[in-house]
Amino acid sequence: MRPINEVAADLGLNVDRLEPYGHDKLKVPLSEFPDSNPSSQPAKLIVVTAITPTPAGEGKSTTAVGLTQGLAKIGKKPVLTIRQPSLGPVFGHKGGGTGGGKSTVQPAVDINLHFTGDFHAIESAHNFLAAMTDNAAHRGLIEGFGPEGITWRRVTDAEDRALRNVVTGIGGRAAAPLRETGFDISSASEIMAIMALAHDYDDLRLRLSSIVVGWTNDRLPVCASEVGAVGSMMALLRDALKPNICQTLEGQPAIVHMGPFGNIAHGCSSIVADKLAVNTGDYVITEAGFGADLGFEKFMDIKVRQGAPKPSAAVVVVTVRGLKWHGGLELKEMGSPNVEAVRKGAENLKNAIRIVKMYGLPAVVAINRFPDDSPEEVAEVKKLAAEFGASGVEESKSFAEGGDGMKELAQAVVEACDSGEANVKLLYENDESFFDKVERMASELYGAAKVQWGPMTRTTARRFADNGWEFPVCMAKTHLSVSADPKLRGAPTGHTLPIRELRVLAGARQIVALAGDIITLPGLPSNPNALDIDLNDATGEITGILST
């Protein structure tokens, strides 16, 4: 790897004022951000999204890293911004998120584990707020606020199904308050979302103060500011708000910061990372979680709405294998050519391109190549992508070839950015009712025929509106289907979107709508990645971490 100071110097940063973590990671204080891009041309931001995920794999992170490397190969000055992986998936089933093959972000092992401690700081701040909230309810410090009114749950970064529903305070008054509660995964923490959306320390303080931790007997919200936790949380989060600089395997700058999940949270890296990137490079590659109906939609309707730099284009990652899955095949059938299954499953690609264009962006399709893809299948995807309105379609060979296998895609992305097609639109206005927002998402994004509102959801939505919370919707739903039913492949229509529960994230300025039975704390699988992770005692090398 290149010396990390050289990578930072390429961004025009004063390396003497940056904060090193070891020899290959740097934190950038917000005071060291350039005020504007020194280039005469403003940076172009490209968001990488994909078709609906499948067990066959898509390779979105690998494509994002490879595209960054490919842009450098054609003489551009690219910067990558991606999320930090959560420890839960690293030790569980999915693995890390630093790319793969010849297109990775380094040091991959550190990034997939403790990195610079950002997630530990968030988990500490979140659980400290829980302790302060319990204490305030136990001691009666807020009129009408008792243990039964607490809604703030604790978090852990481990996949631990035993903590989904727990009883705390057992052991008498000294251990009070006694109440039912539970844990979520730390990437679902509102503080994780806040850190990804905050613009600076003043904005962070305001957002932390607005966190709703519970309700009084009179149904008035109780906020973090009222339990006295904000100052201590600011202290815990001081360094975590500073973005981290690493590098791709070929030496391009990679800013790795924050990690909300794309199915239960808004699924994007931080606004401060994007702001740093657009002021230091000419092309910025960022990744949104899961498919176009989830992470990309949230990138636009939540992140851009709350002040992130606007994108100039989107890349839709697709695999032949993924289209075969959406066309009805099973994993054991992926090795045999089947153009008809590709054609049938391409309805999902068509839908992804439609969603990107609905937000006013040109869509470039990246076909992530696998060794068993037949020439006929790849040719069919290229033909269909063009018919569906893609601005360009190229093969992505980043896993096997690194930046050299991405030059054609990089050129197509540059042409899409320079085309002037981008005219960013959002799906709804802030002041539309929550019901109208959800109904529009159901019909225009997911192809649903109707919304099924669960018990108390309408009442809860009205209570949120009464408090002035005209926030965007963060739809928490399965990532395995455009619908809320993971069994429905392709681009299903005419189904029902069930809204089971609503949660307000007043600090993150969004309302979470849980569509179906959504698990916010995964459990370990029967054969977790943790069984293969180990430390070589002789060399100090960590082995067995799977990255995607």
pTM value?
A: 0.95
Note whether residue 394 is domain-resident: yes
Q: Which residues pair with 394 in a beta bridge?
A: 366
**Residue 172 neighbours by CB under 8 Å, 6+ apart:** none
- The DSSP output letter for 53 is P
Q: Report the domain count for the chain.
A: 3
pLDDT on residue 473? 98
Residues 255 and 365 in one domain: yes
Residues 134 and 232 in one domain: yes
Residues 311 and 361 in one domain: yes
Residues 110 and 126 in one domain: no
> Among 37-51, 254-268, 327-341, 492-506, whose mean pLDDT is lowest?
37-51
Note whether residue 543 is domain-resident: no
Are the beta carbons of 60 and 366 closer than 8 angstroms? Answer: no
Banded model confidence at residue 186, pLDDT cuts 50, 70, 90: very high
Stretch 131-145: mean pLDDT: 96
Note whether residue 458 is domain-resident: yes
Distance of CA 365 to the CA centre of its chain: 20
User: What CATH number is given to the structural domain containing 412?
Assistant: 3.40.50.300
Residue type, 352: A
Stretch 494-523: mean pLDDT: 95
Q: How far apart are alpha carbons 158 and 371 in whole angstroms?
A: 34
pLDDT for residue 251 is more than 80 = yes
pLDDT tens profile 310-338: 999 999 999 999 999 999 999 999 989 99
Residues 125 and 217 in one domain: yes
Are the beta carbons of 67 and 308 closer than 8 angstroms? Answer: no
Note whether residue 522 is domain-resident: no
| Domain-ending residue, one of 237, 263, 291 | 237
Are the beta carbons of 258 and 195 closer than 8 angstroms? Answer: yes
pLDDT for residue 37 is more than 80 = no
% of the chain beyond a pLDDT of 90: 91
pLDDT for residue 547 is more than 90 = no
pLDDT tens profile 381-399: 999 999 999 999 999 999 9
Note whether residue 254 is domain-resident: yes
Banded model confidence at residue 400, pLDDT cuts 50, 70, 90: very high
Residues 161 and 288 in one domain: no
pLDDT on residue 61? 95
User: What CATH number is given to the structural domain containing 192?
Assistant: 3.30.1510.10
Residue type, 448: A
CB burial of residue 367 (10 Å; 0-12, 13-18, 19+): buried
Banded model confidence at residue 546, pLDDT cuts 50, 70, 90: confident
Note whether residue 425 is domain-resident: no
CB burial of residue 253 (10 Å; 0-12, 13-18, 19+): buried
Banded model confidence at residue 254, pLDDT cuts 50, 70, 90: very high
User: What CATH number is given to the structural domain containing 506?
Assistant: 3.10.410.10
Are the beta carbons of 362 and 388 closer than 8 angstroms? Answer: no
**Residue 27 neighbours by CB under 8 Å, 6+ apart:** 18, 19, 21, 116, 239, 242, 243, 244, 245
Residues 263 and 150 in one domain: no
The two beta strands, 244-248 and 26-27, are antiparallel
Phi, psi at residue 415, to the nearest 5°?
-65, -40
pLDDT tens profile 450-468: 999 999 999 999 999 999 9
Diameter over CA atoms, the chain: 71
Phi, psi at residue 536, to the nearest 5°?
-80, 110
Stretch 400-421: mean pLDDT: 96
Are the beta carbons of 47 and 314 closer than 8 angstroms? Answer: yes
Note whether residue 536 is domain-resident: no
Phi, psi at residue 116, to the nearest 5°?
-105, 15
**Residue 170 neighbours by CB under 8 Å, 6+ apart:** 178
pLDDT for residue 39 is more than 80 = no
Q: How far apart are alpha carbons 461 and 472 in whole angstroms?
A: 12
Length of the chain: 548
Residues 401 and 439 in one domain: no
Closest CA to 498 of 444, 448, 535: 448
Residues 32 and 15 in one domain: yes
pLDDT on residue 94? 80
Q: What's the chain's average pLDDT? A: 95
pLDDT for residue 163 is more than 90 = yes
Distance of CA 231 to the CA centre of its chain: 27
Residues 441 and 394 in one domain: no
Phi, psi at residue 276, to the nearest 5°?
-60, -45
pLDDT on residue 40? 61
Residues 193 and 247 in one domain: no
| Domain-ending residue, one of 357, 392, 418 | 418
Domain that holds residue 410: 4-115+243-418
Residues 16 and 100 in one domain: yes
Strand stretches in 369-447, DSSP E: 392-396
Note whether residue 381 is domain-resident: yes
| Domain-ending residue, one of 178, 204, 237 | 237
